[in-house]
Amino acid sequence: MYMIGIAGGSGSGKTTFTEKVLAQVNPSKVAVLHQDSYYMPRPPADLKINDEPNFDHPGAFDWELLRSQLRDLKAGKSVECPTYDYTVSERMTKTVTVGPCEILIVEGIFALWDEEIRDLFDLKFYLHVESDIRFIRRLFRDLKDRARTLEEIIRQYYDTVRPMHQLYLEPTRQYADIIVGEETDKAASILAATVKQKLLELDHE
């Protein structure tokens, strides 16, 4: 199996980038894991800032489960991927079956954070987008899809998103094989071509 990691700050366009790639390949042979699905069942109390949950710290994620499921997928098995309800900040009881597959794309803010997970990836991407663009994208997403108020979004950005990005996320850029800017169409086409080639190679093994 060929595994690809796609990291980048909140609002950098990781999901959109992944969708651009999927639109150009055979989706039946490619699976996607969203790291957001692996938030801890409830936000860790010891990570709170100003009595608010900190979702932008590496400790907010269930690394043990993510590592275990990635190892299983790498071994050709299927996994029951968790789902997460952003409106109440809790893991849901519903799961989604992922795999087995020939190509796996893992996208999330800390996709390149964990050394063991990095070592599983055959190709690593980091989406580097300026902070003002990321904030605007995040603002529209959280207003539209996550039932948050303008005040909540701005407070969260200054309390956790921005400082955690600078402290923990930005340094993971050094682990990327390829760094992509704001315009992702060409990069998505290049990655899609790589995926197609790998699928051909895997089919002939």
**204 within domain boundaries:** no
Residue 196: count of CB within 10 angstroms of its CB: 15
Which residue stretches of the chain have pLDDT < 70?
205
CA distances from 171 to 109, 131, 168, 179 (A): 12, 15, 6, 13
Residue 143's identity, in one-letter code, is L
- Angle 185-203/14-22 helices, nearest 10 degrees? 50
**143 within domain boundaries:** yes
**166 within domain boundaries:** yes
Q: pLDDT tens across 186-200, in order?
A: 999 999 999 999 999
N residues, the chain: 205
Residue 144 belongs to a domain with what CATH number? 3.40.50.300
Residue 36's identity, in one-letter code, is D
**180 within domain boundaries:** yes
Q: pLDDT tens across 45-67, in order?
A: 889 888 888 999 999 999 999 99
pLDDT, residue 205, reads 66
How many domains does the structure of the chain reveal? Answer: 1
Supply the range of the domain harboring residue 180.
Answer: 2-199
**205 within domain boundaries:** no
Q: Give CA–CA dist 139/143, Å, rounded.
A: 6
**145 within domain boundaries:** yes
Kindly report the pTM of this predicted structure: 0.90
